[in-house]
Amino acid sequence: MTSTAADISSTLIDWYDTHARDLPWRNPPGMPVPDDPAWPYRVWLSEVMLQQTTVAAVKPYFEKFTSIWPNVEALAQASEDEVMAAWAGLGYYSRARNLLKCSREVSDLGGFPESEDALRKLPGLGAYTAAAIAAIAFGQRAVVVDANVERVVARLFDIEEPLPGARKTIRERAEAITPEHRAGDFAQAMMDLGSSICTSKSPRCLLCPLADACEGRKAGEPERLPVKPPKKAKPERRGTAYWIERKGHVWLVTREGNGMLGGMRALPDDGWSAREDGSGPAPVDANWEELGAVRHTFTHAHLTLGVVRAEASDEPTGSGEWWPIERIDEAGLPTLFAKAARLALARD
């Protein structure tokens, strides 16, 4: 028997009612949208943090942010340094800058807009995030398509067209099965199904509530869907970070707002980027001691960052600050420079 769109959505929501993940930013299945001004803020914050980041990594950051800034008005009053330091280690730092911009705009508006179109006009909110907030925070019917949903729909309807061309068809099929009621629960059910059952490798089809309706399973080898273009090899880049000490302090700089790790506190370096190796001058003339190198992978490149150390007699060039070495963990260094700092401290 052929399953209808209504069959699919009701089956999935029934499964979600029993198997929904217990997450700190979620409302229990089937419950009305909370009558709490901070609820849209919590949904928005979680969705921004979850972009290209795992649930396990996000949980402690979400709890930290909501403890320090319990609502959007509180976050809007924070300084960029405070937000960037709290975000340090979560990666994709443009999200943190947009988080602050968006909080200030929403605070000026008096709260989050409820419509998907209005949400998309806010800083840092693309089609997916706007739809997710509209559905989950406000109970609007919105079609929410992230990577998990994309995979589920491609398999459910056996969509063999390669990505990214298949995304139009995937969205159309997702639209067809999104219910009028409980759209937020449906969106989260699709996400949960993709993360726990319909996984990218070795999908657990025998446990899937949609197994009987899945055209990809019937065709065999559902794990090959969605069809993706071959990955391009990431370029290798090299750079140097400078650990400059003076009287128990280390010289830290704030990176320019645009570009990689923009706006973050960091060690000075030689100007490496995803496009080219570092070649700039050292920030101070000194007898540099080579400490080794750290390795880090970004979205667009692999980086090998050499770390050198020296005692400073002259003030380094450019703006910066002397930070107490014993409080380096409080500096909010991004993961790359935290690795470099650990290397420098390990060589003491």
* Distance in angstroms (rounded) separating the CA atoms of residues 149 and 64: 28
> Measuring CA to CA, which residue among 135, 117, 112, 136 is closest to residue 127?
117
**Axis-axis angle for helices 167-177, 147-156 (nearest 10):** 80
> Are both 177 and 303 inside the same structural domain?
no
* Structural domain count, the chain: 2
Please tell me the pTM assigned to this model: 0.83
Q: What is the domain extent for residue 260? A: 236-346
Residue 71: what pLDDT? 97
Does a structural domain hold residue 230?
no
Does a structural domain hold residue 231?
no
Give the list of residues 6+ apart from residue 249 with CB closer than 8 angstroms, or none. 322, 323, 324, 325
Assigned token pair, 195: 């993360």
CATH number at residue 304: 3.90.79.10
Residue 35's identity, in one-letter code, is D
> Are both 210 and 146 inside the same structural domain?
yes
Residue 260: what pLDDT? 83
> Are both 132 and 67 inside the same structural domain?
yes
pLDDT tens for residues 28-74? 999 999 999 999 999 999 999 999 899 999 999 999 999 999 999 99
> Are both 150 and 177 inside the same structural domain?
yes
* Domain termination site, one of 224, 249, 266: 224
> Are both 115 and 197 inside the same structural domain?
yes
> Are both 246 and 206 inside the same structural domain?
no
**Axis-axis angle for helices 127-138, 183-196 (nearest 10):** 120
> Are both 216 and 170 inside the same structural domain?
yes
| Alpha-helical runs (H) found in 110-209 | 116-120, 127-138, 147-156, 167-177, 183-196
Over range 205-213, report the average pLDDT: 97
> Are both 187 and 243 inside the same structural domain?
no
pLDDT tens for residues 300-326? 899 999 999 999 888 898 889 999 999
> Measuring CA to CA, which residue among 340, 337, 326 is closest to residue 248?
326
Is residue 138's pLDDT more than 60?
A: yes
Residue 34: what pLDDT? 92
Does a structural domain hold residue 203?
yes
Residue 258: what pLDDT? 76
Assigned token pair, 190: 């699709």
Over range 275-304, report the average pLDDT: 94
> Are both 179 and 38 inside the same structural domain?
yes
Q: Specify the range with the lowest mean pLDDT, choosing from 70-74, 88-92, 167-171, 206-210.
A: 88-92
Active site residues: 47
Is residue 1's pLDDT more than 60?
A: no
Rg of the chain over all Cα atoms, to the nearest angstrom: 24
